[in-house]
Amino acid sequence: MADDGRRTAMYGIMSLLAVLVLYEVTNVVVRDVFNAVVRRLSSVVTHSKEHNMESPYPMLSVEDALSVVLAQAAPLTRVMVDLSAALGAVLAEDVHAREPLPPFAASVKDGYAVIAADGPGIYPVVADVTAGQMADFVLTRGAVAYITTGAPIPQGADAVVMVEETERVDGENSLRLVRIGVQVKAGDDIRPVGVDVAADELILDAGERLGAAEIGLLATAGVVDVPIHARPRVAVLSTGDELVDPHQPLGPGQIRDSNRATLIAAIRANGGEPIDLGIGGDSQTELEARINRGLQEADVLLTSGGVSMGDRDLIKPILAHAGTVHFGRVRMKPGKPITFATAEVGGKRCLIFGLPGNPVSSLATFYLFGVPALRKMAGWRNPLLRRVHARVAQPLRLDAYRPEYHRATLHWDENARCFIAESTGSQASSRLLSMRTANALLELPQQEGTLPAGTMVPALLIGEL
């Protein structure tokens, strides 16, 4: 009985081992088969995803993309505007003086018109000559005439003695006398005819931007109808179902549209005339209608949002249907999906910028591409953003995959004799606070690691220093 029991126990153990071995072998096979299937499916899904989500647009550098934009932009036609509306515009034609300035010989100072050969002495004051009237007498030897600054020199006089070199003398019978205390020579303190501007002299060249001094020159020359390049009309459209106007209360899942207000302000600050197209929802029909309106009314169209690779990012295909898309990706941070297109509408070319939806990306790409385009269309000789060099005040983390345009505030350091760049903090593309106080975009290289504090970097100016 004992042997039978041992044999039964041994058979049981062997059977159990067999089951275990069979289970292990089966488990390994099943696991291997399962893993192989998973790997295959993953490969198929990944390949399909890469195939479907790959952008058809090559990645351009910022420099190449900007060259494309400027090649498509051209100065707008000449228009005539009133002098009061010409500030900041660019002259479309040369401007010549219509008459000499001054148009008559004029006194430089308050004093006395004299005949230089008379020399020092006491002389009768025979008349007064004030600005705004011509003298109706001829000055003769042995007499002087009181004259104010800017007044026409009387016939016969050839110099002016400033009042500080004279002294009034009491005369009999209310006779006005003055002591001339210095010897002057002919021409002293007289502005000859045309000494400032000669008749028909070129006073402003075509292509000059009109600041305060230039406006003054035009006024002096009597040019009140000013030939300028038209200011670009820029239509602005925000896109997205989640957006509401800043005046409206927020509903569930909604955010206020900041891009439109930001871009309209930036357009005005850079000499453009904005056209507000409002907010377009994520509907192809609605977006096409608003975009067509912009193409009809504007020289430039800015859209924000809808340029990435999502199912509801509709701007790129709409622009491709409306015209020619010149690029759809730029190697930069922020703003990689920026899109640039052109469309011929009503005999004119409209430039179209599909800006990213994140607020910082939208504004940064407008500065980098939109502002130079507006400047060229407005007739600027050099439309590029001004570049300076600045020393970074703190270490800045670099991006290994894309060059970055880091928002910063520049100020001049007298001790270091250079510009110092203070970062505006977190550079998240959704954080509009990073643009507050920023007057420059630091051009950081595509590189791993951290840029040490004190490093000199190029900076593009986007605001006042």
Q: Give per-residue pLDDT as tens, 97-119.
A: 999 999 999 999 999 999 999 99
Rounded CA gap, 162 and 146, in Å?
10
The secondary element (H helix, E strand) that includes residue 179 is strand 176-180
The pLDDT of residue 206: 96
For residue 348, what are its two tokens? Answer: 């004119």
Q: Give per-residue pLDDT as tens, 182-206.
A: 999 999 999 999 999 999 999 999 9
Mean pLDDT (whole number) for 268-279: 98
Q: Give per-residue pLDDT as tens, 377-403.
A: 999 999 999 999 999 999 999 999 999
DSSP state of 153: P
Angle at 55 between CA 54 and CA 60, to 5 degrees: 130
Residue 67 has pLDDT above 60, yes or no: yes
**Helices marked H in 104-252 — which ranges?**
212-220
CB 333 within 8 A of CB 399: yes
The DSSP-derived string for 351-405 is: EEEEE-SSHHHHHHHIIIIIHHHHHHHTT-S--SPPEEEEEESS-EE-BSSS-EE
Distances (CA, A) of 374 to 227, 270, 315: 18, 8, 22
CB 282 within 8 A of CB 237: no
- For 184, other C-beta atoms within 10 Å of its C-beta total 22
Rounded CA gap, 421 and 67, in Å?
27
Q: Assign 6 to helix, strand or coil.
A: helix
Binned at pLDDT 50, 70 and 90, residue 49 comes out as very low
Mean pLDDT (whole number) for 125-131: 97
More confident residue, 402 or 32: 402
Binned at pLDDT 50, 70 and 90, residue 426 comes out as confident
Distances (CA, A) of 150 to 13, 99, 155, 215: 127, 17, 15, 21
Rounded CA gap, 81 and 69, in Å?
28
Residue 330 has pLDDT above 50, yes or no: yes
Beta-carbon contacts of 357 under 8 Å, excluding residues fewer than 6 positions away, are 239, 240, 259, 304, 305, 306, 307, 308
Rounded CA gap, 232 and 89, in Å?
11
The pLDDT of residue 312: 82
Beta-carbon contacts of 165 under 8 Å, excluding residues fewer than 6 positions away, are 111, 180, 181, 182
Mean pLDDT (whole number) for 176-186: 97
Q: Which one-letter amino acid corresponds to residue 139?
A: L
Mean pLDDT (whole number) for 408-426: 96
CB 462 within 8 A of CB 387: no
The pLDDT of residue 34: 38
Q: Would the CA dihedral through 305, 259, 404, 69 be positive or negative?
A: positive
Q: What's the half-sphere exposure (Cβ side, CA atoms, 13 Å) at 1?
A: 0
Mean pLDDT of the residues in the chain:
90
Mean pLDDT (whole number) for 15-25: 44
The pLDDT of residue 171: 80
- For 336, other C-beta atoms within 10 Å of its C-beta total 20
- Global pTM reads 0.82
The pLDDT of residue 39: 38
The pLDDT of residue 15: 52
The pLDDT of residue 1: 42
